[in-house]
Amino acid sequence: MKKGAAEVGIWDEQAGVGMSGAFSIGVDLGGTNLRVAAYSGGTDFLETILLPTRLAAGRERVVSDICEAIDALAQRHNGQRKLAGIGIGTPGPLELPRGVLRNPPNLPGWDGFPLRSAITAKLNRGVRLESDANNAALAEQCLGAGLRYGVSTLCMLTLGTGVGSGLIFRGQVWNGVTGMGGEAGHMIVQDQGGEPCGCGGSGCLEQYASAKAVLRMARERLGEEAPASAHDVALLARAGDARACGIFDAVGHSLAVALTGLINTLNMPLYLLGGGLCDAWDLFSPEMFRELHLRSYIYRLTEPSELEPERLEEKKTYILRAQLGPAAGLLGACLLGFQESSSMGRVGI
């Protein structure tokens, strides 16, 4: 059985919250789905509520949906357990500590919206806010790969529809001074003639290593034969289609360029890749490791003898698959809920 958070004492060290009798509520607000969960530790939820994000009905309606789901879970689980706190994950960028959204591409029309104060006013209690990618990184550190390998400092890239990222430094989210740190999905990997990006720039990693990017490259290279999903492009590559294989080589190349910048700058022991596109790990990782060895001198100096060992050697740089799957963001929001009740500060603010 997988070790739970209680057995390794993370609350005592990190959140200052005893496990027995406490629960938190986490919210993962996405552009399509709204997920709200009650949580008491480990990698399972006490209860989850899944709703569509009713963006067309307006921001107030979405905030009401969030608060009604929180109230319902709080009422059902308060009693034998005590509510320690509430954590919320949203698409970034997010201005902290105020909790104001800054032109998030996945929540059109929410630029400047003070999400934290809107929720706090309705619930009449404090909540803690963080970007969804930072929450996923926090969960991976506390409950996933970080727990398994005993690593408290890591960088996670989530290769989904876009590319999210989060930095965890000694068990804490690295926010930067305004809450907008860790947006590695918008590192430039194509300097000349790069694809335009939703952030306003061009040539960003997100345009070359996301499910959306794989579909664009499939249309460019396969024309009318292009499959309708990144998963199907992967199937085509595994069936031996050289054009489809070339797409995943391009993904691996772009990841190597971005990882070179991260590894040379940060010198962290662990870089995790998560998100749906990692199902194609077998297709893009050979090119990624080959290119990374050529490009990053820090990687060459710290390259491990085994890429996927049982235990991590000290003073090496590992690039591994994340372990928690699509629940990572919601688990991270729940962990944030436990941190909300503590006096712990954050790195960078």
- Distance in Å, CB of 197 to Zn ion, minimum: 3
With respect to Zn ion, which residue has the nearer C-beta, 4 or 201?
A: 201
In degrees rounded to 5, what are phi and psi of residue 261? -60, -45
Residue 324: name the closest of 131, 144, 135 by CA: 144
Q: Contact between 197 and Zn ion (CB under 5 A)?
A: yes
Considering the complex, state which of residue 99 and residue 162 has its C-beta at the smaller distance from Zn ion. Answer: 162
Q: Does 168 bind Zn ion (CB under 5 A)?
A: no
Q: Which two tokens stand for residue 279?
A: 């199902």
> Which range binds Zn ion by CB under 5 A, 58-66, 184-192, 268-276, 294-302?
184-192
> What CA–CA distance (Å, rounded) separates 288 from 226?
24
Among 159, 204, 277, 330, binds Zn ion (CB under 5 A): 204
Asked if 270 interacts with Zn ion (CB under 5 A), we say no
Say whether residue 201 binds Zn ion (CB under 5 A): yes
Interacting residues with Zn ion between 64 and 93 (CB under 5 A): none
Q: How many CB atoms lie within 10 A of CB 141?
A: 29
Q: Which two tokens stand for residue 157?
A: 């890239």
Q: Give the residue, chosen from 186, 250, 338, 339, that forms a contact with Zn ion under the rule CB under 5 A.
A: 186
Name which of 48 and 190 has its Cβ closer to Zn ion. 190
> Given the rule CB under 5 A, which of 32-40, 87-95, 162-170, 191-199 is the region that contacts Zn ion?
191-199
In the shown chain, the binding pattern of residues 127 to 156 toward Zn ion, with x for contact by CB under 5 A and - for none, equals ------------------------------
User: Three-state SS for 66?
Assistant: helix
Of residues 172, 170, 147, 130, the one with CA closest to residue 9: 147
Pick from 222, 180, 224: nearest CA to 199: 180
Contacts 24+ apart (CB under 8 A), 40-47: 40/81, 41/4, 41/5, 41/6, 41/11, 42/2, 42/4, 42/5, 42/6, 42/143, 43/2, 43/4, 43/143, 43/144, 43/324, 43/327, 43/331, 45/330, 45/334, 46/77, 47/73, 47/76, 47/77
Query: Per rule CB under 5 A, is residue 187 in the interface with Zn ion?
Result: no
CB-wise, 204 or 292, nearer to Zn ion? 204
**DSSP assigned state of 13:** I
Q: What contacts 241, CB < 8 A, 6 or more positions away?
A: none
Total chain residues near Zn ion (CB under 5 A): 5
The residue from 199, 222, 268, 298 that contacts Zn ion (CB under 5 A) is 199
**Closest distance of CB 337 from Zn ion, Å:** 30
Residue 269 or 275: the one with the smaller Cβ distance to Zn ion is 275
DSSP string, 204-224: BGGGTSSHHHHHHHHHHHHGG
Q: Give the binding range for Zn ion (CB under 5 A) out of 24-32, 116-124, 144-152, 198-206.
A: 198-206
Question: Residue 88 or 197: which CB sits closer to Zn ion?
Answer: 197
Q: Closer to Zn ion at the Cβ: 92 or 269?
A: 92
Residues binding Zn ion (CB under 5 A): 186, 197, 199, 201, 204
